[in-house]
Each structure stands twice: as C-alpha cells, then as structure tokens.
Amino acid sequence: MVRIILVGFMGSGKTTVGKALAASLGVPFYDLDWYITERYHRTVKQIFDERGEEGFRDLEQRMLHEVAEFENIVLSCGGGTPCFFDNMDYMNSLADTVYLKAEPEVLAMHLRMGKGVRPLILGKTPEELDAYIREALVEREPFYSKAKYTLDVSLLENFTKIQESVRLIREQINI
C-alpha cells in the first residue's frame, strides 16, 4: 500500500509534484484544498470569509482525517495544515510524509506567478509577500521538518526538474 502526504509552504510545488508522483506510481492524487472545495461546494477563500481561519482549520482537520485514511494515494496538503492541532503527528502515523522545501525567494516567485486565490496573501505587495513568507516559514518550519523525508525543490522550473523530484522522492521512500 502506498500513502504519501506532501507538506510545505504554499508555492512549493506540492500539487505539481504530487500529480507527477501519483502518475508515476499509478495511484490517485488528492489535493486537500480541492477535496474541501468539492465536499463543501465553496472555495477555500469563501470558507475563510464565512468561518474565519479558525473555522477553516477545524474543517481542514476533519477533511484531513477523512482523506488521509484512503489507501494508495498521494495527498497534497495546504501550507498551514501541518501547523494546527496534531495534524503533522497524525500524518506521520499514517503515511510517508515529504516536506517540499524551497527558499523564500523561490516561494515568492512561484506565488507571484500562480493563478490561484490564496486568502492569506491576498492583496499583499511584493515586499509584504516577501516579509510574510519569511515570517511564516520561521513559524512553520518546526512542523514541516517533522516530515519523514525532506526534498529541496528550489529549482522546479521545468518538466525535467519535476520528474527528477519524483525520482528522488521514490528513491528516499524506496518505492
């Protein structure tokens, strides 16, 4: 049975690498935010707006406990998921967890290029975004670093690098 959960800051490539990893293993890929959106027929931003961050995190934990029980999957979590409740310990108890680690400059570049709406960074100037990423990484690193495996993904700019990341994850986990 394969159960891999990817963690890391928003913009680290969890969805991109997760899809490629799942395809290489022949298993389904799930993105926790997408799963929540499908189940509740609301975007993450709408849930944030309606329930606040605390309400979203409570819902996120419940959905994590649901989807993380699936067998033969690759799951990508939101950037904050590991940092609340006992989520990181829970994920480690069920799955091979992989922290996709990237430098703050790389994360900022990815987030500026990204098309998705991310409630925690909405409306920030480039300078505010850089400061937010650096501050948030200091807070989140202790949670992310609890993952069983860590992969530096600072250079995920093309298909070859994504495939190399998949190869390295498979090698680390030995699958």
Q: Which of 33-42, 108-117, 122-131, 139-148 has the weakest average pLDDT?
A: 108-117
Query: What CATH number is attached to the domain comprising 121?
Result: 3.40.50.300
Reading the block at residue 66, the tokens are 């649901």
Strand partners, 76: 6, 31
**pTM for the complete prediction?**
0.92
Per cent of the chain over pLDDT 90 is 79
Q: In a 3-state reduction of DSSP, which class is residue 3?
A: strand
pLDDT in tens, 74-95: 999 999 999 999 999 999 999 9
Average pLDDT over residues 19-33: 97
In whole angstroms, what is the distance from residue 146 CA to residue 149 CA? 8
Q: In a 3-state reduction of DSSP, which class is residue 137?
A: helix
Evaluate if residue 118 carries a pLDDT over 90.
Answer: no
Q: How many domains does the chain have?
A: 1
Q: What is the domain range of residue 132?
A: 3-173
Please write down the long-range contacts of 42-46, taking CB distance under 8 Å and 24 or more positions apart: 43/117, 44/78, 44/117, 44/119, 45/117, 45/119, 45/122
